[in-house]
């Protein structure tokens, strides 16, 4: 097993370099001075270049070939780790493309911040065009290595094995189901009175509330932290999980759900198998499963009546007043209100898939050359009108609201909705297997739920494919039925 052990040491070094880049990336999105952007782009490019050079070195290819000859002596986890090592090596990009992509996305991210603040897409346009050009090269290179079409290659880098042919029938069914479900939910809720939140809610108090809820869920503050950023995210490094949210002093409800969402991601990262945490097989099993964990916590668990009844006294204590708007029934009406809106991250779970369908359509069109970057704002507005009946008033609330495309995350958006589908499937299985989960949420006790997720998802890393993992946990691969049943049960309508 000498070759396999040498590869394990090498991939541990690769993980360390990736972690260093992760912390620098977190810093760039939270506290880095804006004037440091060019230097940070160079630093990240160097780190990613060093990582690439180690991965594609001739010695690495030799070790992989030698390790294949040792397969008979490897245990199942080691065989899976070797499989993930081979995949990483096979899909490695040319070194100059790695550096060019890193610099382009770093510059585009900083341009995006300026453009969004100014609500002016023209500031981002040339940078985004450069990122798109390079993403096409990335997709072509990865596609050639894997025998995939460009968009499939983009999907695969975020969820190994995910293909357009798998997504299209699921999304086609959602296109048919969602409009009627939105209409039914809005009709059902038409007479509901929702008391508004009467701010101000001090940012410091909101952060304290968020940290309390993170501890309630089981977040380990010895291995992570909460900060503020323009776009909420979970990042950092192995053993140092950084999550962020953004605050609005007039309304705490969005920032709180942002914290709960990102805590779901963080619990996955903090729960990965300790023995394999520095190896490819110890990584999370793609972004469908990662998004399933955040959406299971935020949407499935933390919008239940049980959890919201637990939340109410914490709101009274945190904000120092017994506001009728804090009552569990009002919180439930507020957090399950269905109303088409402009902002994806603030969308309710019924209209949310429409936001993803739009981005899915637009990024495919740009990759295929059917939509010019300059025409993106108009296409975004047209799609919002068609799918949600909402007109986009400005770029900031339109195509500039997400950082994904400037950061190079093309092929990522579908994993949000697929993650929501997986979350419903997992939560249904968990609450069936562990009847104490829902009563526990009413007491702020997430032990049963998180314990089930630790066993069935987190501790398995990348040992299994997404469908294999779901089948072991729920008895079947990814399907829409549990998700649609959940939406109809919570919001009304007929299950088809």
Residues classed as catalytic = 262
Q: Which of 62, 49, 90 is nearest to 4 (CA)?
A: 62
Is residue 241 within 8 A of residue 223, CB to CB? The reply is yes
β-strands 240-245, 234-237: how paired?
antiparallel
C-alpha count within 13 angstroms, C-beta hemisphere, residue 407? 16
User: How far is the C-alpha of 101 from the C-alpha of 407, rounded, in Å?
Assistant: 9
327 CB-near residues (< 8 Å, 6+ apart): 195, 312
Sheet of 240-245: strands edge to edge?
A: 224-228, 240-245, 234-237
Count CB atoms within 10 A of the CB of residue 477: 15
DSSP letters spanning 424-492: HHHHHHHHHH-TTHHHHHHTT--HHHHHHHHHHTGGGTTSS-HHHHHHHHHSSSS-SHHHHHHHHHHH-
Helix (H), strand (E) at residue 325? none
Is residue 135 within 8 A of residue 154, CB to CB? The reply is yes
Q: Which of 220, 121, 40, 157 is nearest to 408 (CA)?
A: 157
User: How far is the C-alpha of 234 from the C-alpha of 242, rounded, in Å?
Assistant: 6
User: How far is the C-alpha of 457 from the C-alpha of 455, rounded, in Å?
Assistant: 6
The per-type count for the chain, helices as H runs and strands as E runs, is 20, 3
Instruction: Collapse the DSSP code of 120 into the 3-class scheme (helix H, G, I; strand E, B; otherwise coil) and give the result.
Output: coil
Instruction: Collapse the DSSP code of 251 into the 3-class scheme (helix H, G, I; strand E, B; otherwise coil) and give the result.
Output: coil
β-strands 240-245, 224-228: how paired?
parallel
39 CB-near residues (< 8 Å, 6+ apart): none
């Amino acid at each position: 097993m000498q070759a396999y052990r040498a590869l394990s040491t090498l991939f541990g070094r690769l993980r360390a370099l990736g972690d260093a880049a992760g912390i620098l990336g977190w810093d760039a999105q939270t506290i880095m001075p804006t004037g440091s952007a060019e230097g940070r782009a160079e630093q990240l490019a160097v780190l990613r270049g060093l990582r690439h050079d180690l991965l594609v070195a001739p010695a690495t290819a030799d070790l992989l070939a030698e390790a294949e000859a040792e397969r008979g002596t490897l245990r199942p986890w080691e065989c899976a780790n070797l499989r993930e090592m081979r995949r990483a090596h096979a899909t490695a990009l040319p070194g100059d493309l790695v550096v060019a992509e890193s610099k382009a996305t770093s510059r585009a991210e900083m341009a995006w911040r300026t453009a969004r603040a100014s609500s002016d897409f023209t500031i981002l346009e040339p940078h985004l065009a450069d990122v798109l050009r390079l993403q096409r090269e990335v997709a072509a290179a990865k596609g050639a290595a894997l025998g995939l079409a460009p968009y499939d290659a983009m999907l695969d880098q975020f969820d190994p094995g995910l293909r357009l042919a798998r997504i299209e029938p699921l999304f086609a069914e959602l296109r048919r189901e969602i409009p009627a479900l939105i209409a039914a939910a809005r009709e059902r809720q038409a007479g509901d009175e929702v008391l508004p939140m009467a701010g101000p809610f001090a940012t410091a108090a909101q952060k304290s509330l968020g940290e309390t809820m993170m501890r309630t869920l089981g977040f380990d503050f010895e291995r992570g932290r909460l900060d503020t950023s323009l776009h909420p995210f979970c990042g950092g490094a192995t053993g140092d999980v950084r999550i962020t949210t953004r605050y609005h002093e007039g309304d705490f409800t969005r920032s709180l759900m942002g914290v709960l969402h990102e805590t779901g991601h963080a619990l996955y990262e903090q729960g990965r198998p300790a023995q394999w945490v520095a190896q490819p097989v110890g990584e999370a099993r793609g972004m469908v499963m990662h998004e399933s964990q955040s959406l299971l916590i935020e949407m499935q668990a933390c919008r239940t009546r049980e959890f919201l009844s637990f939340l109410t006294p914490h709101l009274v204590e945190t904000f120092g007043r017994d506001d009728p708007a804090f009552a569990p029934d009002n919180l439930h009406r507020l957090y399950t209100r269905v109303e088409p809106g402009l902002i994806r991250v603030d969308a309710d779970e019924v209209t949310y898939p429409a936001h993803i369908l739009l981005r899915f359509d637009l990024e495919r069109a740009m990759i295929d050359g059917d939509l010019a970057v300059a025409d993106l704002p108009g296409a975004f507005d047209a799609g919002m009108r068609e799918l949600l009946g909402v007109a986009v008033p400005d770029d900031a609330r339109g195509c500039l609201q997400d950082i994904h495309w400037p950061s190079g995350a093309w092929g990522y958006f579908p994993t949000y909705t697929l993650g929501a589908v997986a979350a419903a499937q997992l939560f249904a299985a968990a609450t069936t297997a562990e009847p104490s989960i829902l009563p526990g949420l009413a007491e702020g006790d997430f032990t049963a739920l998180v314990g089930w997720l630790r066993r069935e998802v987190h501790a398995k890393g990348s040992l299994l494919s997404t469908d294999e993992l779901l089948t072991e946990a729920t008895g079947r691969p990814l399907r829409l039925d549990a998700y649609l049943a959940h939406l109809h049960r919570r919001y009304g309508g007929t299950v088809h």
